[in-house]
């Protein structure tokens, strides 16, 4: 699409949009004014309706199923709604409850809408919220601007409603006519401004046509040559003239740049050959270096593998030494514990032997006591014998005393028998004590020998623990040194790999540089061809095609 067509369409759209917006705003304002006037008219009609109704009576009540204003019966009496229609036009209705009982509203068959029910938002406002309603409502399928007031009895209860309304179509008839006229005017004005826009845009864009023709002359399509010596006309002082001046300056700068580029192309070609030779030498050296680094890396990998095996085995030795040291320490602790227990057993045995000896001594003392008891028993027996003699000599009076003497003698005999048994038991106890002393002395000798052996074993284990600690420390030092050697060899191997990667990257860079140098040579040739498509005067431009056909450059 041409710029002329775009500007024309743009102006038509802008003008039409402005007219459409203005018309819509005006129509909306007219519509709001119509609604506002309808509200004012409704309020006026409703006040008159109230005055006419109150003239019939100020007290509103329902009696015998009919609505009354004083003594005036409203039901079926259409006098007041017809009066409103006669004075002002429009609709008027009196409701008893939600039912129309007096109205000038007609149904679709031409009859009055007596008995029909109020519904929608007016009913909710009047009979649920107990307030007046102002707004739009649909009455028997016809849109109205409406005003409703509740009718209350003396107790303040809502018993009916008063309604006046105007059909929306009556108020919008003038609005519709005005809207149609506004749209027609907008179309006429848009067409006029479109015609004017076509003429003005054609005149304004005429210099652009001249510029396009000059640009076609600058680039001659028949020989694919650009003549930088041609300049555009700068006569106009508007933006088009400014574009022509800036384009002329651009042509001058391009002419200067192309001249210097043509001089630099030969030097670039020469530099590209030098770079290619140098890069070839660097590539050869880089290949040799890469081979040497690869051999060194292979050797270091073998060395690192060997160091890893040594480190792994040395760590195993350290683990074994640690386990041996731990077991030896545990054994030494157990032997020391055994030695302490043997000492306790030896002490307990010595204490037992002492107590056994003391028991033998106590037993001998008991034997002495038994001798004393036997002596006392003999004396008691002798006294009992003497007492029996005295009792016999006393005759009848000494019989009781004789019985006592007899019992004492029998008691003495029992004591003799008991002491004899005790002496036998004590003899057995003394023999057992003697045997126990002999056995304890033998056990004490064995315990002392075992204690000597455990002490000697503990000393040997202490020496073994000391040797195990030395062995473990040496194994740890060997493992640490081996790990350091492994780490060092790994670092050397990483460094060699980095060097190898660097050499590989350098080789890749050299190959890329070589490729770039070849591409640079090709680009220099192509750039020379491109530069020769520009000429500084018309004669040079006519010879450009012939030179391009004759010249051929071979790229190494």
Q: pLDDT value at position 126? A: 93
Asked whether residue 143 is assigned to any structural domain, the reply reads: yes
pLDDT of residue 421: 81
> Could you tell me whether strands 225-227 and 534-535 are parallel, antiparallel, or unpaired per DSSP bridges?
parallel
Q: What is the DSSP secondary structure assignment for residue 118, as one 8-state letter?
A: P
Phi first, then psi: what are they for 195, rounded to 5°? -65, -45
Structure tokens at 518: 């070849």
Q: pTM of the prediction?
A: 0.36
DSSP state letter for 60:
E
Which of 123-132, 273-282, 285-294 is modeled with the greatest confidence?
123-132
Confidence band, pLDDT 50/70/90 cuts, at residue 554: very low
Between 210 and 434, name the one with better pLDDT: 434
User: Which of the two residues, 405 and 102, has the higher pLDDT score?
Assistant: 102
Q: What is the pLDDT of residue 556?
A: 44
- How confident is the prediction for the chain on average, in pLDDT? 77
Of residues 272, 213, 185, the one with CA closest to residue 556: 272
**Within a domain: 196:** yes
> What pLDDT does 122 receive?
94
pLDDT in tens, 27-52: 677 667 767 777 888 899 999 999 99
pLDDT band for position 1 (cuts 50, 70, 90): low
pLDDT higher than 50, residue 137: yes
Does residue 540 have a pLDDT over 60? no
Count Cβ atoms below 10 Å from residue 30 Cβ, excluding itself.
16
Q: Indicate whether 171 belongs to any domain.
A: yes
| pLDDT value of position 190 | 72
Higher per-residue pLDDT: 299 or 552: 299
Joined tokens for residue 130 = 């107990």
**Residue 167 is part of which domain span?**
3-200
From 473, 476, 457, 461, select the one nearest 327 (Cα to Cα): 461
Q: What is the DSSP letter of 163?
A: E
> Could you tell me the two tokens for 204?
């304004």
What does the alpha-carbon distance between residue 538 and residue 250 come to, in Å, rounded to a whole number? 18
pLDDT band with cut points at 50, 70 and 90 for residue 552? very low
190, 209 contact by CB (below 8 A):
no
Which long-range CB contacts under 8 A does 418-427 form with residues at least 24 apart?
A: 419/370, 419/373, 419/374, 419/377, 422/366, 422/370, 423/367, 423/370, 426/363, 426/366, 426/367, 426/370
pLDDT of residue 328: 75
Is the pLDDT confidence value at 204 over 80? no
Tell me how long the chain is: 556
| Whole-number pLDDT of residue 162 | 95
φ and ψ at residue 68, rounded to 5 degrees: -125, 145
Number of structural domains found in the chain: 1
Evaluate whether residue 350 is within a structural domain.
Answer: no
Chain segment 149-169, per-residue pLDDT in tens:
999 999 999 999 999 998 887
pLDDT in tens, 479-532: 777 777 668 767 767 876 777 777 677 777 777 777 777 787 777 777 777 666
pLDDT at 383 over 80: yes
CA atoms of 150 and 97, how far apart (whole Å): 9
What per-residue confidence (pLDDT) applies to 84? 93
Angle formed at CA 326 by CA 324 and CA 328, multiple of 5 degrees = 65
Residue whose C-alpha is closest to residue 352's, from 427, 426, 435, 437: 437
In a domain, 187, yes or no: yes
pLDDT above 80: residue 62:
yes
pLDDT at 364: 73
Mean pLDDT of 435-458: 77
The domain that holds 32 is classified in CATH as 3.30.450.20
The answer on pLDDT for 103 being more than 90 is yes
Alpha helices in 112-205 (DSSP H): 121-123, 168-204
Residue 407 inside a domain? The answer is no
Give residue 123's pLDDT: 94
Interval 242-261 mean pLDDT: 75
Residue 43 lies in a domain: yes
Confidence category of residue 541, pLDDT binned at 50, 70, 90: low
Q: Which of 40-44, 77-81, 446-450 has the lowest mean pLDDT?
A: 446-450
Q: For residues 370 and 471, what is the distance between their CA atoms, to the nearest angstrom?
A: 73
140 found inside a domain: yes
């Amino acid at each position: 699409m041409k710029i002329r067509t775009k500007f024309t369409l743009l102006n038509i759209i802008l003008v039409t949009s402005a007219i459409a917006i203005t018309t819509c705003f005006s129509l909306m304002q007219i519509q709001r004014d119509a609604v506002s006037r309808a509200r004012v008219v409704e309020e006026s009609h409703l006040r008159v309706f109230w005055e006419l109704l109150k003239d019939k009576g100020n007290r509103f009540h329902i009696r015998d199923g009919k609505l009354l204003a004083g003594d005036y019966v409203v039901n079926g009496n259409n006098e007041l709604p017809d009066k409103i229609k006669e004075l002002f036009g429009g609709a008027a209705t009196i409701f008893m409850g939600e039912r129309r009982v007096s109205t000038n509203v007609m149904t679709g068959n031409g009859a009055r809408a007596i008995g029909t029910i109020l519904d929608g938002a007016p009913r909710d406002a009047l009979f649920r919220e107990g307030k007046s309603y102002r707004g739009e409502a649909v009455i028997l399928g016809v849109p109205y601007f409406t005003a409703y007031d509740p009718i209350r009895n003396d107790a303040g209860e809502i018993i009916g409603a008063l309604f006046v309304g105007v059909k929306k179509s009556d108020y919008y008839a003038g609005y519709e006519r005005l809207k149609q006229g506004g749209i027609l005017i907008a179309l006429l004005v848009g067409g006029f401004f479109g015609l004017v826009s076509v003429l003005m845009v054609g005149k304004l864009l005429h210099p652009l046509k001249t510029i396009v023709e000059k640009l076609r002359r600058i680039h001659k399509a028949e020989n694919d040559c650009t003549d930088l010596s041609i300049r555009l006309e700068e006569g106009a002082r508007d933006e088009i003239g400014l574009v022509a001046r800036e384009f002329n300056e651009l042509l001058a700068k391009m002419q200067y740049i192309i001249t210097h580029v043509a001089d630099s192309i030969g030097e670039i070609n020469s530099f590209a050959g030098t770079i290619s030779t140098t890069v070839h030498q660097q590539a050869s050296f880089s290949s040799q270096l890469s081979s040497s680094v690869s051999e060194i890396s292979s050797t270091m990998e073998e060395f690192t593998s060997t160091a890893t095996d040594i480190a792994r085995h040395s760590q195993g030795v350290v683990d074994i030494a640690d386990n041996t040291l731990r077991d030896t320490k545990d054994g030494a602790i157990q032997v020391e514990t055994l030695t302490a227990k043997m000492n306790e057993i030896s002490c307990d045995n010595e204490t037992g032997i002492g107590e056994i000896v003391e028991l033998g001594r106590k037993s001998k003392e008991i034997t002495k006591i038994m001798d004393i008891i036997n002596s006392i028993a003999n004396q008691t027996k002798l006294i009992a014998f003497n007492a029996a003699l005295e009792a016999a000599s006393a005759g009848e009076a000494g019989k009781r005393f004789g019985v006592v003497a007899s019992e004492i003698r029998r008691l003495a005999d029992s004591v003799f028998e008991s002491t004899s048994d005790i002496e036998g038991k004590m003899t057995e106890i003394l023999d057992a004590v003697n045997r126990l002393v002999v056995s304890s002395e033998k056990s004490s000798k064995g315990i002392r020998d075992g204690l000597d052996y455990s002490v000697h074993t503990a000393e040997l284990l202490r020496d073994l623990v000391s040797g195990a600690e030395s062995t473990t420390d040496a194994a740890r030092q060997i493992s640490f040194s081996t790990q350091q050697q492994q780490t060092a060899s790994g670092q050397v191997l990483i460094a060699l790999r980095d060097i190898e990667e660097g050499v590989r990257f350098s080789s890749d860079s050299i190959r890329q540089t070589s490729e770039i140098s070849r591409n640079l040579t090709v680009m220099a040739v192509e750039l020379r061809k491109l530069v020769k498509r520009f000429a500084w005067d018309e004669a040079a431009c006519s010879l450009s095609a012939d030179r391009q056909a004759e010249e051929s450059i071979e790229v190494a």
